[in-house]
């Protein structure tokens, strides 16, 4: 789920950045530092949309660095248990398949794939129903439900299921192309 | 007293085994039993007596009698009494001192048996031994004796024994002691019997009380006596006791342990999982189908290990080769197959159960399983944890869910204490409340109080522990706390009754575990991550000098991804096969000769793992171990040659990259810096040096503020020494003093800023001949010393950042390499004045040693330098005075720059700013030539021609003539080459600066800047045209 929230961060800026462009420098550094990071509480910071306020800088003893408390608005993405997501399949193996929804990696175990779908090894490993009407393979888009998440320092990993109504392949570029 | 009964039963089985011991006991009993005073020990059985009644006693007696008969029948000459005594010895674990007590105990035991069972047994015995040769008198005699004793006990101990009383039975200092006597191995029993005989012969002058030989204790017997002398006396002359063996006293506290019988109370019930202890099926899992407590037999269901061939030939009467070593694999019996081999198969109905069994050569089969009746002794029910494979096998033929629960009960029996914790989610799996879910509130001994959501149930609800199973839902994150996968964590993907399927966090593989073996946990571990000194993902050197990354830890072994770039090679090695951990910080060059250090992101561009990308985890011998989280094999590790990789993430290329040891890197390059002439070569060589320069630039940029700076040691034995810092570690720094590297305390050094001497040059470039102060005082001097100039350049490099090159390039209309190239040539100084403009600034720069000034500023002054834009703009204006190459003119500014000469302050002054720039001109050589760019060649006396650089090595370029590189290949010096400026929409290669090596498209030209869209990341960058070269695909 995406959220638009306000976060705060203390930015340390080197004196060389001081000048007319201080604010820009600060913002670009903030973007560089923050965008794409992941925290357990908020999930992935997708983009910074604005700066709320830049507090007074405080010179740090000894280094000359200045610390600015910056409040910024950003869009964060955090997957939740029970959430329905659409994701792109990145890898299929005998244990299930991996899919990605933006920065989040989701694993769908074969136990969480409908029982009528079978794994087919080969050049392009895929899961398919016996009649071949549905096929899950790399690049496929699937709709899945997250049943568990694990948050690391740098990534969020989810386990998902497609064993439910209205879940499964929604678009297969390989077959339409 | 079920325990006693069991033991009693056990004893029954063990008659033969413990016979000698018993006899000995018996003898003693006869000798001293009647007369000796009754000990406290007897009270042990008080309660038992109390419970008995005479009727049962009678039964007992009969029982004994018949048993005695059995004993006699068992081809052993011994009196029935001895059997009793035997039992007594077994059962009575606490005091062996008096035979009487033992007997009593025995009786008591039987007395407490459930009447019906006892009757059963008696009948059994009677039936079996009715025709025993034992005469009736014996039995009667026995009966009489027992009753006698029994009644006596009755009078005395007709009260209940409490714990305290039990405690009082323990041996005290006043009791006879137990002595351990060494005897010949295997002769323990013999010795005991001999002593017994001796006792009989000698009577009461043998002052020992008893002798015990334990089956499980070889080489020793125990003798009970008051004094050591008594023991010595008794064993004197014994053949199997060594004469001067020491006699050891058993400490009072341990006395009870000597004769304690381990509780063997196995509560075997149907459907319990057991393992076979002996025979062909040793170790095999079996399931109890029937228990006969009386006969001590148990019927188990096994997967047969039968060699039908052998069986068939045996039945035919043919000779069967005895191959002991061969144990047939377990396989379900196929009756049809057996029939085909002409093995007679009988189908019989079991009279007891009514089931049909196939009988082959005396073995019973049903549903492919072998039903075998074995002694209770030959199975073990303790710590039986069936693996999934085994369970699956057992469940295969008859697919019923019930069997699983049979397994469960055993699993539960082996549960650890404290299995359930408050807050655990549990589910009831047995009884009326089956499938009720709840949470553990409290755990009592056996019962667990659970709280459930169900209305109308008492809250909390007490449930027996055995009826509960932990409950998990898919998505739970769990940790395995016991079993084969202990330590692993993962997410539950499927729950199948009490079996969970977990997706392991590390391997991303499915793991099947019992719900009982896991706990919910948010912890993410990789299972065991360490064996010995080696951790998961460590780079290790193996015995055979191959190396690899530990990608998985197994039991006592590591799975290692070998450092073979061509194909992933995984080896399983033991701890001892690992020689050492490789932790050296080294850096290598990538495909484009960019420096790769650990943690850099690289992309593989060739080989089997082409296209993979990730941070470098280890580097060794030119082999990179890259971690790609999308790569599922080998724990995400990819092994690739450094030359088949490219560094990605241009923004990180400069400053952060080279956090490694700059000195070591330095020395990796072609020529060692200390050789005075070498800088020239660097300049000519271009590429290699470039990397070096960047390396040093990076050094300052990172956290290692001191690294590479030249310092003076203030304190300690090395006081006064100077040298560059080569390593920082905590509070220590490693300083290289000319030849020697020493370690000093951090505060024992002073930065060179204050010293204001270019000691850095001195030490690093071995210019000891020059006094540090010299250059600044004598501005002219350095002019005369080209060596020094060249020496100065590398320093500059350290300070310089790629962007600065760019800033400069437009202002150096002459091809810079040539400048520097000539710079190093002393001869050129006088003769070619046009080269001079470039040189003075270098010197000027050098004289005031801003290098040291810069270097020593802590807190990342280098990173300042590394920030391209600011400086770029600042310098861009400054250098203009130099532009006209009027000889001599530059002298003025440069000499002025000496005047301010305040070290440290210098970098700030504009003059220095100018100076700082100057070496860049010389240093630009590095930024230049790279393969696959279009250049103009103008060799002396020849027309200029265009060509494509194919290869750059050691200062010369291999150039293929022709605009597409199709012509002849010639060698050219960099000074003979000039880059052909690209035009709009050309593909360009960036030959300098931060993006050096990247390929892009020139989408626009703005004055001296080119707008380049970099192909890698599609970023649009504004770069100086001078560092753009037309790219020609090779």
Average pLDDT over residues B859-885: 39
Alpha carbon of A71: minimum distance to chain B alpha carbons (Å):
25
Query: What pLDDT is attached to residue A5?
Result: 94
Find the DSSP H helices in B433-572.
Answer: none
Distance, in Å, from the CA atom of B698 to the CA atom of B615, rounded to the nearest integer, reads 18
- In sequence order, the β-bridge partners of residue B65 are none
| B1020: enclosing H helix or E strand | strand B1020-1024
Using CB atoms, pick whichever of B501, B524, B632 lies closest to residue A91: B632
Query: What pLDDT is attached to residue B245?
Result: 73
Domain with CATH 3.30.70.940 in chain B: 173-263
Of A101-105, A161-165, B620-624, B934-938, the least confident:
B934-938
* pLDDT tier at B301, thresholds 50, 70, 90: confident
Of B149-158, B249-258, B879-888, B1023-1032, the least confident:
B879-888
pLDDT greater than 70 at residue B307: yes
Query: What pLDDT is attached to residue B23?
Result: 42
Select the highest-mean-pLDDT range: B181-190, B388-397, B484-493, B525-534: B181-190
The reply to whether residue A111 touches residue B508, judged by beta carbons under 8 angstroms, is: no
Of B283-297, B677-691, B937-951, the least confident:
B677-691
State the burial class of residue B176 (Cβ atoms within 10 Å of its Cβ: 0-12, 13-18, 19+). buried
pLDDT greater than 90 at residue B155: no
Token pair for residue B286? 């079996």
Average pLDDT over residues A170-176: 73
The more confident residue out of B447 and B870 is B447
Residues A18 and A56 in one domain: yes
Neighbours of A105 (CB within 10 A): 20
Place of tokens 């198969």: B345
The reply to whether residue B630 touches residue A91, judged by beta carbons under 8 angstroms, is: yes
- Interface contact A161, partner B, CB < 8 A: yes
Of B594-598, B603-607, B677-681, the least confident:
B677-681
CATH architecture of B173-263: 2-Layer Sandwich (3.30)
Residues A64 and A19 in one domain: yes
Domain around A88: 84-176
8 A C-beta contact, residue B865 and residue B700: yes
Q: What is the pLDDT of residues B430-443, one digit of tens each?
A: 778 888 888 888 88
Using CB atoms, pick whichever of B494, B630, B859 lies closest to residue A63: B859
Average pLDDT over residues B134-158: 63
Query: What pLDDT is attached to residue A155?
Result: 78
pLDDT greater than 50 at residue B639: yes
Query: What pLDDT is attached to residue B1029?
Result: 83
The more confident residue out of B267 and B258 is B258
Residues A89 and A147 in one domain: yes
Cβ-proximal residues to B413 (8 Å cutoff; 6+ apart), any chain = B272, B381, B466
Q: What is the DSSP letter of B244?
A: T
Q: What is the pLDDT of residues A51-73, one digit of tens each?
A: 999 998 898 888 888 999 999 99
- Choosing from A39, A60, A77, the residue where a domain stops is A77
CATH architecture of B414-484+494-520: Roll (2.30)
- Interface contact A60, partner B, CB < 8 A: no
Chain A positions touching B476 (Cβ under 8 A) are 148
Average pLDDT over residues B548-555: 78
Comparing C-alpha atoms, which of B14, B83, B88, B13 is closest to residue B44? B88
Give the number of beta-carbon pairs within 8 Å between A and B.
Answer: 65
8 A C-beta contact, residue B6 and residue B178: no
Chain B positions touching A65 (Cβ under 8 A) are 859
- In sequence order, the β-bridge partners of residue B619 are B624
Query: What pLDDT is attached to residue A143?
Result: 93
Find the DSSP H helices in B203-247.
Answer: 228-235
pLDDT greater than 60 at residue B687: no
Query: What pLDDT is attached to residue B781?
Result: 43
Query: What pLDDT is attached to residue B724?
Result: 77
Structural domains counted in chain A:
2
* pLDDT tier at B658, thresholds 50, 70, 90: very low
The reply to whether residue B630 touches residue A111, judged by beta carbons under 8 angstroms, is: no
Q: Which residues of B touch A (CB under 8 A)?
A: 474-477, 491-494, 501, 503, 505, 508-510, 524, 629-630, 632, 858-860, 863-864, 867, 870
Query: What pLDDT is attached to residue A142?
Result: 92
- Choosing from A77, A107, A127, the residue where a domain stops is A77
- Nearest-CA residue of chain B relative to A90? B630
Average pLDDT over residues B682-706: 40
pLDDT greater than 50 at residue B617: yes
Domain with CATH 2.30.30.30 in chain B: 414-484+494-520, 934-1030
Chain B positions touching A150 (Cβ under 8 A) are 477, 491, 505, 524
Specify the CATH number for B934-1030; select among 3.30.360.10, 2.30.30.30, 2.60.120.10, 3.40.190.10: 2.30.30.30
Using CB atoms, pick whichever of A63, A93, A150 lies closest to residue B632: A93
The more confident residue out of B755 and B599 is B599
Distance, in Å, from the CA atom of A79 to the CA atom of A1, rounded to the nearest integer, reads 6
- Choosing from A26, A47, A77, the residue where a domain stops is A77
Residues A117 and A165 in one domain: yes
Residues A106 and A72 in one domain: no
Helices (H) and strands (E) in chain A, counts: 2, 14
8 A C-beta contact, residue B42 and residue B153: yes
Residues A64 and A99 in one domain: no
8 A C-beta contact, residue B551 and residue B622: no
Do β-strands B969-972 and B956-961 pair in parallel, antiparallel, or remain unpaired?
A: antiparallel
Q: Residues A98, A100, A104, CA angle at the centre, nearest 5°?
A: 110
Query: What pLDDT is attached to residue B808?
Result: 44
Query: What pLDDT is attached to residue A73?
Result: 94
Chain B positions touching A99 (Cβ under 8 A) are none
Residues A13 and A42 in one domain: yes
- Interface contact A25, partner B, CB < 8 A: no
Of B370-374, B739-743, B750-754, B1010-1014, the least confident:
B750-754
* pLDDT tier at B319, thresholds 50, 70, 90: low
- Nearest-CA residue of chain B relative to A157? B505
Q: What is the DSSP letter of B260?
A: P
Using CB atoms, pick whichever of A64, A105, A109 lies closest to residue B510: A109
Query: What pLDDT is attached to residue B751?
Result: 57
Query: What pLDDT is attached to residue B298?
Result: 84
The more confident residue out of B774 and B424 is B424
Residues A53 and A20 in one domain: yes
Average pLDDT of every residue of chain B:
64
pLDDT greater than 70 at residue B759: no
User: What DSSP string runs through B61-88?
Assistant: HHHHHHHHHHHHHTT----HHHHHHHHH
Chain A positions touching B491 (Cβ under 8 A) are 148, 150, 159
Query: What pLDDT is attached to residue B590?
Result: 81
Comparing C-alpha atoms, which of B279, B266, B277, B273 is closest to residue B378? B277
- Interface contact A31, partner B, CB < 8 A: no
Query: What pLDDT is attached to residue A49?
Result: 93
pLDDT greater than 80 at residue B147: no
Bin B801: left if φ > 0, else alpha if -120 < ψ < 50, else beta: beta
Distance, in Å, from the CA atom of B915 to the CA atom of B445, rounded to the nearest integer, reads 84
Chain A positions touching B630 (Cβ under 8 A) are 90-91, 98
Token pair for residue B891? 């002298």
- Interface contact A81, partner B, CB < 8 A: yes
Q: What is the pLDDT of residues B977-1031, one digit of tens each?
A: 777 778 888 888 888 777 777 888 888 888 778 888 888 777 888 888 778 888 8
Residues A34 and A88 in one domain: no
- Nearest-CA residue of chain A relative to B871? A16
* pLDDT tier at B162, thresholds 50, 70, 90: low
Which of B473, B474, B509 would best serve as a mutation to test chain A binding (most A beta carbons within 10 A)? B474
State the burial class of residue B293 (Cβ atoms within 10 Å of its Cβ: 0-12, 13-18, 19+). middle
Query: What pLDDT is attached to residue B529?
Result: 64
8 A C-beta contact, residue B123 and residue B130: no
The reply to whether residue B503 touches residue A109, judged by beta carbons under 8 angstroms, is: yes
Alpha carbon of A62: minimum distance to chain B alpha carbons (Å):
8
- Nearest-CA residue of chain B relative to A92? B632
Do β-strands A104-109 and A156-161 pair in parallel, antiparallel, or remain unpaired?
A: parallel
Using CB atoms, pick whichever of A81, A95, A96 lies closest to residue B475: A81
Comparing C-alpha atoms, which of B478, B529, B483, B524 is closest to residue B501? B478
Average pLDDT over residues A76-87: 91
Comparing C-alpha atoms, which of B570, B577, B564, B580 is closest to residue B625? B564
The more confident residue out of A20 and B758 is A20
Average pLDDT over residues B617-627: 85
State the burial class of residue B199 (Cβ atoms within 10 Å of its Cβ: 0-12, 13-18, 19+). buried
Chain A positions touching B860 (Cβ under 8 A) are 14
Which of B475, B858, B908 would best serve as a mutation to test chain A binding (most A beta carbons within 10 A)? B475
Distance, in Å, from the CA atom of A148 to the CA atom of A105, rounded to the nearest integer, reads 12
Residues A159 and A97 in one domain: yes
Query: What pLDDT is attached to residue B136?
Result: 59
The more confident residue out of B670 and B601 is B601
ipTM: 0.81
* pLDDT tier at B325, thresholds 50, 70, 90: low
Query: Is the backbone peptide bond immediately before B460 cis, with ω within 30 degrees of 0?
Result: yes
Residues A98 and A170 in one domain: yes
Domain CATH for A6? 3.30.1490.120
Distance, in Å, from the CA atom of B987 to the CA atom of B978, rounded to the nearest integer, reads 18
Q: Residues B403, B404, B410, CA angle at the centre, nearest 5°?
A: 100
The more confident residue out of B83 and B288 is B288
State the burial class of residue B215 (Cβ atoms within 10 Å of its Cβ: 0-12, 13-18, 19+). exposed
Domain CATH for A168? 2.40.50.140
Chain B positions touching A96 (Cβ under 8 A) are 493
Token pair for residue B339? 């029939």
Q: What are phi and psi of A149, to 5 degrees?
A: -130, 150
Q: What is the DSSP letter of B183?
A: B
Query: What pLDDT is attached to residue A7?
Result: 92
Residues A92 and A117 in one domain: yes
* pLDDT tier at A75, thresholds 50, 70, 90: very high
Query: What pLDDT is attached to residue B705?
Result: 61
* pLDDT tier at B414, thresholds 50, 70, 90: low
What percent of chain B has pLDDT above 70? 53
Query: What pLDDT is attached to residue B266?
Result: 56
B254, HSE (Cβ side, Cα atoms, 13 Å): 9
Of B154-158, B334-338, B624-628, the least confident:
B154-158
Q: Residues B880, B884, B885, CA angle at the centre, nearest 5°?
A: 125
Of A153-167, B230-244, B711-725, the least confident:
B711-725
| B608: enclosing H helix or E strand | none
Q: What is the DSSP letter of B483?
A: S
**Separation in Å, CA B957 to CA B41, B940, B963, B1027:** 103, 16, 16, 17
């Amino acid at each position: 789920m995406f959220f638009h929230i306000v976060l705060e961060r203390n930015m340390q800026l080197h004196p060389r950045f001081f000048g007319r462009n201080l604010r820009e420098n600060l913002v670009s550094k903030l973007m560089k530092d923050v965008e794409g990071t992941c925290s357990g509480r908020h999930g992935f910071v997708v983009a910074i949309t604005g700066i709320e306020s830049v507090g007074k800088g405080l010179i740090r003893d000894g280094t000359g660095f200045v610390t600015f408390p910056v409040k910024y608005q950003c869009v964060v993405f955090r997957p939740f248990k029970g959430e329905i997501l659409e994701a792109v399949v990145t890898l299929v193996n005998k244990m299930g398949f991996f899919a990605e929804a933006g920065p989040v990696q989701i694993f769908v175990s074969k136990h969480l794939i409908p029982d009528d779908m079978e794994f087919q090894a080969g050049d392009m490993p895929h899961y398919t129903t016996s009649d071949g009407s549905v096929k899950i393979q790399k690049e496929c888009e699937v709709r899945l439900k997250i049943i568990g998440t694990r948050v690391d320092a740098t990534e969020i990993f989810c386990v998902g299921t497609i064993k439910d109504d209205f879940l499964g392949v929604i678009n297969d570029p390989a077959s339409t192309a | 007293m079920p325990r006693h009964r069991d033991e009693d039963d056990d004893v029954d089985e063990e008659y033969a085994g413990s016979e000698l011991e018993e006899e000995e006991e018996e003898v003693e009993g006869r000798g001293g039993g009647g007369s000796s005073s009754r000990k406290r020990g007897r009270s042990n059985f008080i309660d038992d007596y109390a419970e008995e009644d005479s009727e049962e006693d009678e039964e007992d007696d009969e029982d004994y009698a018949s048993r005695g008969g059995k004993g006699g029948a068992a081809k052993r000459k011994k009196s029935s009494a001895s059997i009793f005594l035997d039992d007594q010895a077994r059962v009575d674990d606490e005091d062996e001192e008096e035979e009487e007590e033992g007997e009593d105990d025995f009786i008591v035991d039987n007395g407490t048996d459930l009447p019906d069972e006892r009757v059963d047994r008696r009948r059994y015995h009677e039936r079996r031994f009715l025709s025993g040769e034992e005469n009736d008198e014996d039995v009667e005699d026995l009966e009489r004796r027992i009753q006698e004793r029994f009644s006596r006990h009755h009078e005395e101990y007709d009260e209940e024994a409490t714990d305290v009383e039990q405690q009082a039975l323990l041996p005290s200092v006043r009791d006879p002691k137990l002595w351990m006597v060494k005897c010949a191995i295997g002769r323990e029993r013999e010795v005991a019997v001999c002593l017994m005989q001796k006792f009989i012969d000698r009577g009461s002058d043998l002052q020992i009380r008893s002798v015990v030989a334990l089956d499980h204790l070889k080489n020793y017997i125990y003798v009970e006596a008051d004094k050591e002398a008594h023991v010595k006396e008794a064993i004197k002359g014994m053949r199997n006791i060594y004469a001067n063996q020491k006699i050891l006293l058993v400490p009072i506290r341990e006395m009870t342990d000597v004769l304690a019988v381990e509780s063997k109370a196995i509560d075997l019930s149907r459907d319990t999982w057991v393992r076979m202890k002996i025979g062909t099926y040793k170790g095999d899992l079996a399931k109890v189908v029937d228990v006969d407590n009386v006969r001590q037999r148990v019927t188990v269901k096994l997967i047969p290990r039968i060699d039908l061939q052998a069986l068939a030939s045996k039945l035919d009467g043919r000779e069967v080769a005895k191959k002991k070593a061969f144990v047939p694999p377990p396989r379900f019996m196929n009756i049809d197959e057996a029939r085909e081999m002409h093995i007679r198969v009988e189908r019989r109905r079991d009279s007891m159960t009514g089931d049909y069994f196939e009988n082959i050569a005396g073995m019973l089969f049903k549903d492919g399983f072998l039903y075998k009746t074995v002694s209770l002794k030959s199975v073990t029910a303790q710590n039986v944890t069936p693996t999934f494979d085994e369970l699956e096998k057992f469940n295969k033929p008859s697919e019923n869910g019930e069997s699983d629960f049979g397994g469960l009960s055993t699993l539960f029996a082996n549960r650890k204490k404290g299995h359930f914790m408050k807050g655990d989610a549990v589910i009831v799996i047995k009884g009326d409340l089956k499938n009720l879910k709840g949470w553990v509130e409290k755990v009592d001994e056996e019962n667990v109080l659970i709280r459930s959501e169900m209305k109308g149930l008492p809250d909390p609800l007490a449930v027996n522990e055995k009826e509960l199973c932990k409950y998990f839902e898919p998505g739970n994150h769990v940790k395995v706390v016991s079993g084969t996968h202990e330590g692993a964590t993962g997410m539950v993907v499927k729950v199948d009754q009490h079996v969970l399927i977990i997706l392991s966090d590390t391997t991303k593989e499915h793991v099947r575990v019992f719900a009982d073996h896991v706990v919910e946990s948010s912890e993410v571990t990789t299972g065991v991550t360490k064996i010995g000194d080696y951790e998961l993902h460590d780079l290790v050197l193996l015995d055979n000098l191959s190396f690899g990354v530990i990608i998985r830890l197994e039991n006592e072994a590591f799975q290692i991804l070998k450092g073979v770039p061509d194909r992933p090679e995984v080896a399983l090695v033991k701890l001892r096969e690992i020689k050492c951990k490789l932790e050296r910080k080294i850096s290598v060059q990538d495909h484009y000769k960019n420096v790769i250090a650990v943690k850099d992101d690289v992309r593989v561009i060739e080989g089997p793992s082409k296209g993979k990308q990730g941070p470098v985890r280890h580097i060794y011998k030119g082999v990179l171990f890259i971690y790609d989280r999308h790569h599922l094999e080998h724990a995400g590790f990819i092994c690739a040659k450094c030359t088949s990789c490219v560094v990605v993430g241009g923004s990180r290329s400069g400053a952060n990259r080279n956090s490694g040891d700059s000195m070591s890197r330095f020395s990796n390059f072609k020529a060692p810096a200390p050789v005075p002439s070498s800088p020239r070569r660097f300049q000519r060589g271009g590429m290699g040096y470039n990397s070096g320069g960047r390396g040093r630039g990076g050094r300052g940029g990172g956290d290692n503020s001191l690294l590479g700076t030249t310092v003076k040691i203030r304190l300690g034995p090395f006081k006064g020494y100077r040298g560059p810092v080569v390593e920082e570690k905590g509070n220590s720094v490693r300083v290289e003093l000319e030849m020697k590297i020493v370690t000093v305390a951090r505060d024992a050094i002073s930065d060179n800023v204050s010293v204001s001497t270019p000691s850095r040059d001195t030490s690093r470039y071995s210019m000891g001949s020059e006094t540090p102060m010299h250059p600044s005082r004598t501005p002219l001097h350095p002019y005369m010393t080209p060596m020094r100039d060249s020496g100065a350049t590398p320093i500059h490099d350290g300070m310089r950042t790629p962007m600065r090159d760019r800033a400069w390039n437009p202002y150096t209309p002459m091809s810079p390499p040539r400048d520097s190239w000539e710079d190093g040539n002393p001869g050129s100084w006088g003769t070619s004045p046009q080269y001079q403009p470039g040189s003075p600034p270098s010197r000027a720069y050098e004289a005031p040693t801003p290098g040291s000034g810069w270097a020593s500023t802590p807190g990342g002054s280098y990173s300042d330098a590394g920030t391209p834009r600011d400086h770029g703009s600042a310098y861009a204006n400054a250098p203009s005075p130099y532009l006209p190459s009027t000889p001599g003119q530059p002298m003025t500014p440069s000499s002025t720059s000496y005047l301010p000469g305040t070290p440290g302050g210098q970098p700030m002054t504009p003059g220095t700013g100018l100076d700082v720039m100057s070496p860049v001109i010389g240093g630009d050589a590095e930024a230049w030539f790279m393969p696959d760019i279009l250049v103009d060649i103008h060799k002396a006396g020849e027309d200029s021609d265009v060509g494509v650089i194919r290869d750059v090595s050691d200062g010369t370029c291999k150039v293929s003539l022709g605009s597409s590189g199709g012509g002849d290949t010639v060698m050219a010096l960099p000074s003979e080459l000039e880059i052909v400026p690209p035009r709009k929409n050309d593909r360009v290669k960036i030959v300098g600066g931060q993006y050096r090596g990247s390929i892009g498209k020139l989408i626009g030209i703005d004055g001296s800047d080119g707008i380049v869209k970099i192909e890698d990341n599609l970023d649009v960058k504004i770069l100086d045209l001078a560092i753009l070269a037309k790219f020609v695909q090779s």
